[in-house]
């Protein structure tokens, strides 16, 4: 019997997560230079279309069909085979179509996160190849291993809404991309529209309630805990980042405040439905502090991660996975585990090893993949084209009329 409350909530959560991809496009588009606004936004929006195609053809099946205890699933549910309007998800509360759509939104936004690292340096054709191969050989295996009953799930690794699956894999893939494509010609280009960044971050924060609370895939006490943990951690991270940056640079920076909120959201993601509410301020403050200094380290090392994907998402997801290993409690979620704070020593080390393994795999595979793609089609644009800006060179369009900016 369908649970109409849970089904309605999950349809709303799915819509919220879908909205995060346009939100990400606005966030990145505002941070980019004025000659590269459309290029970075298009890389997010194209994922809405192409990733959906892949998900229908075989993506959902590889993630959530067969392969128990393994690395990847099978093709049993390819082309939505065996799924119809009457098929229920395994929890018996919502139609499988709803779960299919909800997880598809995660698949859409994850590779789009990476694009902020290599803004205004990548050929669109190469990006489409990257978008395809990276999902199949990085994202799908980790979804299956953690959420699809695969190897890491059997090992006891937890990830409520994507600390490893989304943020660690995307963040460390972004770092590998930066090392491969190297620095921009103009690393000091300033954001073209901070108000656009604010709109994007607001949409991301709004959508994140669906991202985290929806990951319970029903409406219960865990859902409400995940929701409030998300907001509290993001808020504390926002203020922590603001305070640190203000004290160091003597001025309160709006972009820094917005970046801090995303760091908090990324860090609470793996923890949201597994930790008590009292832990979320600690997680938020840790996110604001550690992600801020990760970005500072990146700048010191001259890694040209243009929009701080590694420092915010990679480090945030990694940190959140470790903090989950500390603060998780079965009293909050019986499907979870007890973390180090509650005596769960082995669970703590499993979380650390899983995060390290995911980071190494995403980094190494992404770098190798870019080398191979470059033999098929050039990955990086030529320097004179980069100087002109990719909006006009690659797409034949401009974000603004001449003379506006």
Instruction: Give the CATH number of the domain where residue 82 resides.
Output: 1.10.3430.10
Task: Please indicate, yes or no, if residue 224 is contained in any of the structural domains.
Answer: yes
CA distance 85 to 98: 10
User: CB of 44 within 8 A of CB of 28?
Assistant: yes
The three-state secondary structure class of 380 is: strand
Cα torsion 247, 250, 251, 253: sign? negative
Phi, psi (degrees; rounded to nearest 5) at 31: -80, -25
Size of the chain, expressed as the number of residues it contains:
405
Q: Indicate the pLDDT class of residue 403, thresholds 50, 70 and 90.
A: low
Residue 394: inside a domain: no
Give 361 or 187, the one with higher predicted confidence. 361
Which domain does 136 fall in, by range?
Answer: 4-386
C-alpha 150, offset from chain centre:
20
- Is the residue at 182 inside a domain? yes
Pick the range with the lowest mean pLDDT from 3-7, 102-106, 141-145, 398-402.
Answer: 398-402
Say which residues have a Cβ less than 8 Å from residue 316's Cβ, sequence separation at least 6: 167, 171, 262, 263, 264, 265, 266, 267, 269, 287, 291
Residue 189 has pLDDT above 60, yes or no: yes
Token pair in block for residue 6: 């849970």
Is residue 300 in a domain? yes
DSSP 95: B
Q: What is the mean pLDDT of the chain?
A: 96
Rounded Cα distance, 389 and 395, in Å: 10
Q: What is the DSSP letter of 158?
A: -
Predicted TM-score (pTM) of this structure: 0.96
Mean pLDDT of 46-67: 98
Three-class HEC string of 7-43: HHHHHHHHHHHHHHHHHHHHHHHHHCCCCCHHHHHHH
Q: How many domains does the chain have?
A: 1
Q: Is residue 175 part of a domain?
A: yes
Q: Is the pLDDT of residue 405 over 70?
A: no
Greatest C-alpha distance within the chain: 63
- Of 107, 111, 108, 81, nearest to 96 by C-alpha is 81
- H-helix or E-strand spanning residue 298: helix 280-301
Assign 3-state DSSP to the chain and report helix, strand, coil percentages, each to 5: 70, 0, 30
Question: Exposed, middle or buried: residue 84 (CB in 10 Å: 0-12, 13-18, 19+)?
Answer: exposed
121 domain residue, yes or no:
yes
Averaged pLDDT, 331-354: 98
Write the burial class of residue 142 (CB in 10 Å: 0-12 exposed, 13-18 middle, 19+ buried): buried
- Residue 186: pLDDT band (50, 70, 90) is confident
- Would 273 be classed as within a structural domain? yes
| Tens-digit pLDDT profile for residues 242-290 | 999 999 999 999 999 999 999 999 999 999 999 999 999 999 999 999 9
Identify whether the C-beta of residue 207 lies closer than 8 Å to the C-beta of residue 151.
no
Rounded Cα distance, 358 and 339, in Å: 20
The torsion angles phi and psi of 180, rounded to 5 degrees, stand at -80, -50
């Amino acid at each position: 019997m369908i649970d109409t409350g849970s089904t309605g909530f999950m349809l709303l959560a799915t819509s919220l997560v879908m909205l995060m991809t346009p939100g990400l496009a606005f966030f990145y588009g505002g941070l980019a230079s004025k000659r590269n606004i459309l290029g970075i936004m298009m890389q997010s929006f194209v994922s809405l279309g192409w990733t959906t195609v892949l998900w229908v053809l075989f993506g959902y099946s590889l993630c959530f069909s067969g392969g128990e205890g393994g690395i990847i699933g099978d093709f049993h549910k390819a082309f939505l085979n065996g799924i119809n309007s009457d098929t229920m998800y395994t929890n018996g509360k919502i139609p499988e179509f709803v779960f299919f759509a909800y997880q598809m939104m995660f698949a859409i936004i994850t590779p789009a996160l990476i694009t902020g690292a290599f803004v205004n340096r990548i050929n669109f054709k190469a990006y489409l190849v990257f978008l395809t191969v990276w999902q199949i050989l990085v994202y799908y295996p980790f979804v299956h291993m953690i959420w699809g009953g695969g190897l890491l799930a059997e090992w006891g690794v937890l990830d409520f809404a994507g600390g490893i699956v989304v943020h660690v894999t995307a963040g460390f893939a972004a770092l590998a991309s930066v090392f491969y494509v190297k620095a921009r010609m103009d690393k000091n280009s300033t954001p073209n529209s901070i108000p656009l960044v604010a709109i994007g971050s607001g949409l991301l924060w709004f959508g994140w309630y669906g991202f985290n609370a929806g990951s319970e895939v029903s409406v219960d006490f865990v859902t409400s805990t995940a929701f409030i943990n998300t907001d509290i951690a993001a808020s504390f991270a926002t203020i922590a980042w603001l305070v640190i940056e203000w004290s160091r640079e003597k001025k309160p920076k709006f972009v820094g405040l917005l970046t801090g909120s995303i760091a908090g959201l990324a860090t609470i993601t793996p923890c949201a439905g597994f930790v008590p509410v009292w832990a979320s301020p600690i997680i938020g403050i840790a996110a604001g502090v550690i992600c801020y200094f990760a970005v500072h380290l990146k700048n010191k090392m001259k890694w040209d991660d243009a929009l701080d994907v590694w420092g915010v998402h990679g480090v945030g997801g990694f940190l959140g996975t470790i903090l989950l290993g500390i603060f998780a409690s079965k009293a909050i979620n019986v499907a979870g585990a007890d973390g180090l704070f509650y005596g769960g020593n082995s669970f703590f080390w499993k979380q650390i090893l899983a995060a390290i393994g995911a980071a190494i795999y995403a980094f190494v595979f992404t770098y190798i993949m870019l080398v191979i793609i470059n033999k098929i089609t050039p990955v990086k644009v030529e320097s004179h084209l980069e100087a002109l800006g990719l909006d006009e060179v690659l797409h034949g369009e401009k974000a603004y009329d001449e003379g506006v900016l």
